[in-house]
Amino acid sequence: MSAAPLVGYSSSGSEDEAETGAGGCPRGQSPVPSQRLPVPDSVLHMFPGTEEAPEDDSAKHGGRVRTFPHERGNWATHVYTPYEAREDFLDLLDALLLHAQTYVPRLVRMEAFHLSLSQNVVLRHHWILPFVQALKDRMASCQRTFVGLEVTSGHTQFLDLVSEVDRVMEEFDLTTFYQDPSFHISLAWCVGDARLQLEGQCLRELQEIVDEFEDSEMLLRVHAEQVRCKSGNKFFSIPLK
């Protein structure tokens, strides 16, 4: 049996089904060819608030591609702890990036910095506020902590945060965080797999730059005062006590 192309339509209910037969024609009549008329621009622009799927043009995002395709009503969601970069941190980052680019020239500095507490998941729009409220309830007793680029102290406290986020994920039947996670702040990114170029000598040289940078130990500490949830273009802040 062949399948006909589907088109959007509005139906008033079962009465329409009772009066039509196969092919959508009134019973007792043979189907006749029909021509779809163009929709006037005045009608197309009657509903400016209607959500439209964004164009997935990776060239506009440095070659980055969506983790999952956009679907109407689905909101990409991520829970994290933000890091507000100071000028001396950016000076260190510039030195690191300049050196790393001698190995991987296409590396680009991150526009913002954070430590992830969840994977990227998809929420339906009507789940967003209940999801955020559940996060707030879970975070009510969590304490703030200090961490570095890669957490060497405070790891246990961040596992506690992830545990609370995971419980919320489970409530909404969403993917929980990674097993045995390594918490870190991403500094730069590039398209493609450049691990072979960066591992070994490059990472050792970058570590030397960090170790020799003035007051790097204090500079690379993060005072985590809040957890944030980003869902689509909406941001929610959850203070930590």
Q: Considering the chain, what percentage of its residues have pLDDT values greater than 70?
A: 68
What CATH number has the domain bearing residue 90? 3.90.1140.10
Determine the pLDDT at residue 2: 29
Q: Considering the chain, what percentage of its residues have pLDDT values greater than 90?
A: 41
Determine the pLDDT at residue 135: 94
201 lies in some domain: yes
Residue 150 is classified by DSSP as B
Dump pLDDT digits (tens) for 36-77. Answer: 555 455 444 444 444 444 455 555 545 555 555 667 788 999
Give the C-alpha distances (Å, rounded to integers) separating 103 from 11, 29, 46, 149, 200: 61, 73, 53, 21, 11
40 lies in some domain: no
Q: Give the HSE-up count for residue 193: Cα atoms under 13 Å, Cβ half-sphere.
A: 1
Residues with Cβ within 8 Å of residue 143, at least 6 apart in sequence:
157, 240, 241
Dump pLDDT digits (tens) for 147-190. Answer: 557 777 788 888 999 999 999 999 999 999 999 888 888 889 88
User: What H or E segment, with its residue span, contains residue 124?
Assistant: strand 121-124
Which residues carry out catalysis?
114, 184
78 lies in some domain: yes
41 lies in some domain: no
94 lies in some domain: yes
pTM for this model (two decimals): 0.66
Residues with Cβ within 8 Å of residue 34, at least 6 apart in sequence:
none
181 lies in some domain: yes
18 lies in some domain: no
Residue 140 to residue 136: CA distance in whole angstroms: 6
For residue 137, the enclosing domain spans: 58-239
Number of domains in the chain: 1
